[in-house]
Chains A and B, each alone.
Chain A
Amino acid sequence: SQQGEEDPQALSIQEGENATMNCSYKTSINNLQWYRQNSGRGLVHLILIRSNEREKHSGRLRVTLDTSKKSSSLLITASRAADTASYFCATLSTGGFKTIFGAGTRLFVKA
């Protein structure tokens, strides 16, 4: 099975609200990354958090990592219609070289 599992699978919110997506993984990791994919497009890297970090910010994005629970969350504050996309977490296992992706959370931001 995939290393990263996101929940919820789909999330629908109003513009201006915050969106929180969660990711759980199974093995020890070197780092965890979040990506965005607009429909029919490629991947856009959002943020990388290393295993020794607990929280990271980038603009309206806030990522947390809890290695004891093997979970991460992505918070998008003050969402916009343009944030509508699928969001994937991806993990690089300790000592590994394959970045494994979850199935993604589909976010719909209604204007």
Chain B
Amino acid sequence: NAGVMQNPRHLVRRRGQEARLRCSPMKGHSHVYWYRQLPEEGLKFMVYLQKENIIDESGMPKERFSAEFPKEGPSILRIQQVVRGDSAAYFCASSPTAEGPPEAFFGQGTRLTVV
């Protein structure tokens, strides 16, 4: 049973480009959470999605950031027109229930570097 899979593991983008981060939840999980981790800081909640629905996007910047979790396929976190401040590690977690990310169900993260 594969864990939460994120790709790519590392992504380099120039300022102004788009970044697309993918998260495949564990099999049978229909709840996905995205977190951002800046260097030397903890994880900050961005968005919580269920299949085809955004439940809570209160932690996601209103501009340039969007997330989706289609009926088929991985969840996508999209950052348009990236800026240097977007450089961070982005983690995805999945759960089978709505009780928040349970133990061990985090992906390895995507490290975005904006140059």
Contact of A88 among B42, B98, B111 (CB under 8 A): B42
Which of B35, B42, B59, B103 touches A103 (beta carbons < 8 Å)?
B42
Chain A residues numbered 59-111 whose CB sits less than 8 Å from any CB in chain B: 88, 90, 92, 96-104
CB distance from A35 to the nearest CB of B (A): 8
Where chain A touches its partner, the secondary structure class is strand
CB contact under 8 A between A2 and B100, given known A42-B106, A98-B56: no
Q: Which of A4, A48, A103 has the most CB of B within 10 A?
A: A103
Chain A residues within 8 Å of B98, by CB: 97
Residues of B close to A90: CB separation below 8 A: 43
Q: Mark B28-72, 1 if CB is under 8 A from A, else 0.
A: 000001010000011111001000000110010000000000000
In the bound assembly, the distance between CA atoms of A78 and B7 in angstroms comes to 37
Is the interface on chain A under 10, 10 to 19, 20 to 34, or 35 or more residues?
Answer: 20 to 34
Q: How many interface contacts (CB-CB < 8 Å) are there between A and B? A: 60
Chain B residues lying within 8 Å of A92, measured Cβ to Cβ, are 99-100
Chain A residues in 8 Å Cβ range of B35: 101
Closest chain A residue, CB of each to CB of B56:
A98
Q: What mask results when residues 78 to 115 of chain B are scored 1 for a CB within 8 Å of chain A, else 0? A: 00000000000001010000111111111111010000
B33, B45, B59, B103: which contacts A48 (Cβ < 8 A)? B103
Contact between chains at A101 and B42 (CB < 8 Å): yes
Known: A35-B106, A97-B56, A104-B41. 12 other contacts (CB 8 A): A4-B42, A30-B99, A33-B103, A42-B106, A42-B108, A43-B91, A45-B103, A45-B106, A88-B43, A97-B55, A98-B100, A103-B41
